[in-house]
Structure 1
Amino acid sequence: MSIHTVIHLGSGLCHELDDYLAHDPQHVLLIEADPDTSQQLSQRTAEQSPVEVRCLALAARAGTATLHRYNLPEANSLHPAEGLLQLFPGLRLLETVELETHDVVGVIGALDLDANAEHLLVIELPGEEISVLEALQAADLLRRFRHLRLHGGLEPLYRGSVPAKTLVDWLKTRGFDLVEQDDRDDPDQPYWLFALNPLKLEQAALRKQIETLTTEKAALTKDKTALTSARDEQAKLAAERQTQIETLTTEKAALTKDKTALTNARDEQAKLAAERQKQIEALTAEKAALAKEKTALTSARDEQAKLAAERQKQIEALTAEKAALTKEKTALTSARDEQAKLAAERQTQIETLKTQLQEQQSRVAQLESELAERDQRQALMDEELHKAEGQIELIKDLLLRPDGGL
């Protein structure tokens, strides 16, 4: 079997080196975490050109780790040998060394291995096997190796280890066939040699594809069901909204009609309000004019009342004077009659009393003249009184009207 590249992770002093070189590989990469062991290995392989030794502590993820050194160098590991101590009671921990770990995917990925060539990967990383395998599988680097060799315990011998059967079954499901199990050197820690089976790999890929398609189909079926439900829900919602639209359209039409009617009513009321405003303004103006007229009439009434009172006083005064004159006239008339009687009786004294009579007659004439003058004045006063009474009656008539005289 021709091998193009051999990569041994956790090579130790690599007692298998001669077997590797027997396959005439173009490149043998030996990676060891222990600096002392790595230095010894470098010195031993210095003259062997295809061999490359690197001092690296590998893990699934880069970081830091503790190298555990035991009195049996082959037992050294980045994980405590908890199960191995039960098999070898004399195994003792000598010291621990803090190391920087490197990402196994980064290291192997940087080699850019030829996908069509035969490569061998040897893993001796106690406690880190399954993590490294999973990391390489996830990065699609594991299938670059047609041959895979593992060294580990049938039962977990280091912290972090898994039973050998778990590793074997895991590799089988990833397209690797178990070719050989070599337990001649140590029945508790045999070697397992695996070969990549392209058909299994293809079958695994097909199974994965089937699983993916099945998952996608289930997801699509679920999506279809959800979409169908959503479609039905949307259809129901659309029907409900159509009903709402029709209802709202009817309501809108009714509201538009009401709006038109209310707008017309509003305009009519606005017109009526404007007309009434004009009426109010006209009535207000008329009221103001009537108030002004009322004020003037009230003033005139008061003036006439004052004048009437004054003339009433004049009438009373004239009446008193008239009564006095009438009394005086009566007295004079009585005197005149008495004098006429006396004249008749004293005919004989006419001559004697002629002078006196003439004087009396002159006095009577004067009195009669004064009486005539007073009668004339009385007539004028009666006329003025009559006019005043007419004005008073007119004022009373104005004041006693139902509209308040306005």
Structure 2
Amino acid sequence: MGGSVPQGRRRVFLQPDPELAAGLHRAAPGAEVLVLGLAAEDGRMDLLQMNFAALNSFHEPAPALRALFPGLKVMRRQPVPVLSPGALLDRIGARGQGIDLVLDMPGSEMQLLEAWKAADALEQLRSLVLRCGSEVFFEGSAPQAQIEAWLVAEGFTRNGADLADPDWPVTQWQADPTRRALKKALAEAEARAGAAGNRADSAESALAEARKAAEALQTEHKALAEKADWRQRRIQELEAGARAAAEALAEAGTRAESAEGALAEARKAAEALQAEHKALAEKADWRHRRIQELEAGAREMEKTRDALRREVAEERAKHQDQQHRLEAARNDLRRAEGQIALIKDLLLRGETL
């Protein structure tokens, strides 16, 4: 912010590029140079530094700019701090003061002017020097014609132009108090007309609401009458139900007494069953122990049986051996008897052996 202003006035320059900011310090001694950018919101943004410094921007080059400068290159993207117009005015203490603004921020012109308006600071601009592209040279930017139409609508009058570079004209604008006053009066008149229309609409709406409310009350009255009849019938039904419930309660009391007697009998039976269960459990334990004892005896008997079987087998083997010996003795005896008979026969015959 700054430019050609009369001597003695305060000059403030905003330059986000530190190297260019240093040059401003040398070129404009006594001026304030803030090394930051201007944007719609406070924060940080990437400054696209081109190989043509006059086209440095916070926005990407559009096809039209690359067609105009085929050799254009983004040399570096440098994050820089940025302030909104409102924050800038607070920082330099210029709230409410008249300002002569020089705006040379390629691609950000429309956004910044709208940000000045959003900060309620547009009325502070007495004059404006604007350098902007005749076409959409950056992504998200606006062409010269759109920006100038917006300025006229906001109460500015164009009072000069430098068209040496038709692609990047420099125009001078002056705040037009008469146009601003007319715009303000028109806005107030429209607001009053709108308010009157709103009041008329409100009256008609209130009447319609009153009619609806009356109809609703009539409907509600009818519904309440019907509901009262229904409630009377319901009360009678409930009274009859209450009497029936009392009778049922008395009968239930009788049944409850009977149930208590049955419960006592059931408890006695349960106690008897518990005692019987205990006796059966003890008897089962005794039987279990007896079974274990019998099983142990059976195992001993099996051992004895196996031993006896072995003894029987041994005796059978001995018996068979004795039978074999006896048979052999018998055979020997028969042979001996045969020989004796032969000898006797020979003796009787008188033959000698």
User: Structure 2-normalised TM-score?
Assistant: 0.60
Q: Check if 1:59 corresponds to 2:32.
A: no
Residue identity in the other structure for 2:66: L
Q: Map Cα deviations across residues 257-296 of structure 1 (whole Å, 9 max, x no partner).
A: x98xx9xxx9xxxxxxxxxxxxxxxxxxxxxxxxxxxxxx
Q: Is the 8 A contact 1:109 1:141 kept in 2?
A: no
Distance in 2 (CA, whole Å) between partners of 1:86 and 1:28 is 36
What is residue 125 of structure 2 aligned with on the other side? 145
Q: Is the 8 A contact 1:113 1:144 kept in 2?
A: no
Q: Secondary structure at the match of 1:27?
A: coil
What is residue 110 of structure 2 aligned with on the other side? 130
Choose which of 10, 28, 31 in structure 1 pairs with 2:11.
28
What is residue 350 of structure 2 aligned with on the other side? none
Kindly report the root-mean-square deviation, in angstroms, between the aligned alpha carbons of the 2 structures: 2.8
What is residue 82 of structure 2 aligned with on the other side? 101
Q: Check if 1:209 corresponds to 2:185.
A: no
Distance in 1 (CA, whole Å) between partners of 2:90 and 2:199 is 36
Distance in 2 (CA, whole Å) between partners of 1:32 and 1:195 is 24
Distance of aligned partners of 1:109 and 1:243 in 2 relative to their CA distance in 1, 3 Å threshold? same
Moved more, 91-100 or 167-176: 91-100
What is residue 388 of structure 1 aligned with on the other side? none
Q: Secondary structure at the match of 2:92?
A: coil
What is residue 170 of structure 1 aligned with on the other side? 150
Percent of aligned pairs sharing the same letter = 23
Q: Check if 1:221 corresponds to 2:197.
A: no
Distance in 2 (CA, whole Å) between partners of 1:245 and 1:99 is 73
Distance in 1 (CA, whole Å) between partners of 2:72 and 2:218 is 82
Distance in 2 (CA, whole Å) between partners of 1:218 and 1:139 is 30
Distance in 2 (CA, whole Å) between partners of 1:102 and 1:114 is 15
What is residue 24 of structure 2 aligned with on the other side? 41
Q: Is the 8 A contact 1:29 1:52 kept in 2?
A: yes
Q: Check if 1:183 corresponds to 2:166.
A: no
Shift of 1:242: 4.3
Q: Is the 8 A contact 1:118 1:146 kept in 2?
A: yes
Q: Is the 8 A contact 1:64 1:98 kept in 2?
A: yes
Distance of aligned partners of 1:189 and 1:118 in 2 relative to their CA distance in 1, 3 Å threshold? same
Q: Map Cα deviations across residues 114-167 of structure 1 (whole Å, 9 max, x no partner).
A: 74x642011111111111111110121011011111101111112221111110
Distance in 2 (CA, whole Å) between partners of 1:241 and 1:69 is 75
Shift of 1:71: 2.0
Distance in 2 (CA, whole Å) between partners of 1:109 and 1:131 is 19
Shift of 1:168: 0.6
Q: Is the 8 A contact 1:75 1:81 kept in 2?
A: no
Residue identity in the other structure for 2:176: N
Distance in 1 (CA, whole Å) between partners of 2:19 and 2:129 is 24
Residue identity in the other structure for 1:75: L
Shift of 1:244: 5.2
What is residue 91 of structure 1 aligned with on the other side? 72
Residue identity in the other structure for 2:94: L
Distance in 2 (CA, whole Å) between partners of 1:214 and 1:94 is 56
Q: Map Cα deviations across residues 280-338 of structure 1 (whole Å, 9 max, x no partner).
A: xxxxxxxxxxxxxxxxxxxxxxxxxxxxxxxxxxxxxxxxxxxxxxxxxxxxxxxxxxx
| Larger Rg computed on CA atoms | 1
Distance of aligned partners of 1:155 and 1:33 in 2 relative to their CA distance in 1, 3 Å threshold? same
Distance in 2 (CA, whole Å) between partners of 1:90 and 1:247 is 88
Q: Check if 1:198 corresponds to 2:177.
A: yes
Shift of 1:78: 1.5
Distance of aligned partners of 1:37 and 1:235 in 2 relative to their CA distance in 1, 3 Å threshold? same
What is residue 11 of structure 1 aligned with on the other side? none
Distance in 1 (CA, whole Å) between partners of 2:36 and 2:83 is 7
- Paired residues in the alignment total 237
Q: Secondary structure at the match of 2:11?
A: strand
Distance of aligned partners of 1:191 and 1:25 in 2 relative to their CA distance in 1, 3 Å threshold? farther
User: Structure 1-normalised TM-score?
Assistant: 0.53
Q: Map Cα deviations across residues 194-249 of structure 1 (whole Å, 9 max, x no partner).
A: 11111211221222223333433443333333221110011122233445566777
Q: Secondary structure at the match of 2:182?
A: helix
Q: Secondary structure at the match of 1:98?
A: strand
Distance in 1 (CA, whole Å) between partners of 2:75 and 2:225 is 90
Q: Secondary structure at the match of 1:86?
A: helix
Distance of aligned partners of 1:255 and 1:75 in 2 relative to their CA distance in 1, 3 Å threshold? closer
What is residue 334 of structure 1 aligned with on the other side? none
